[in-house]
Amino acid sequence: PNSNLDIPPKYGVQLASLRTWERAIRMSRNFKHLGPVFLAPWASPEGEEWIRVVLGIYPDRATAFQMIQYLQSAYGIQDALIVENRWWRISPEGGEIEVVSTP
């Protein structure tokens, strides 16, 4: 069976943008009880690698915003933001979930 799952554009909540895969994976494990967590690598203009940690697949911005409000009140996360992505995929291991590419 194909392990990749193509999903039309949806919204997620970026929890953080971190410098190391170790920290990104640790954070993803801490939040995966709230929904799927995606790791999205990207490079800054200076060539530094960063990893976005994105929670959830929400049908619209309003639903994603409700999760941001919950994260603020329950976890004190103040800098979460809504992101759109068409490139979600679920990794074969099932537990770790990632993004293959970002715009």
Per-residue pLDDT of the chain (103 residues; tens, 9 = 90+): 444 455 456 888 999 999 998 999 999 999 989 988 888 888 889 999 998 898 988 888 999 999 999 999 999 999 999 988 655 554 444 444 555 444 4
Query: What are residue 27's phi and psi, to 5 degrees?
Result: -65, -40
Measure the N-to-C terminal CA separation of the chain; round to a whole number of Å: 27
Q: Which domains does the chain have, with CATH numbers?
A: 10-99 (3.30.70.1070)
For residues 97 and 90, the answer to whether their CB atoms sit within 8 Å is: yes
pTM value is 0.75
C-alpha span between 65 and 7 (Å, rounded): 20
SS3 letters for 46-63? CCCEEEEEEEEEECCHHH
Q: How many CB atoms lie within 10 A of CB 45?
A: 5
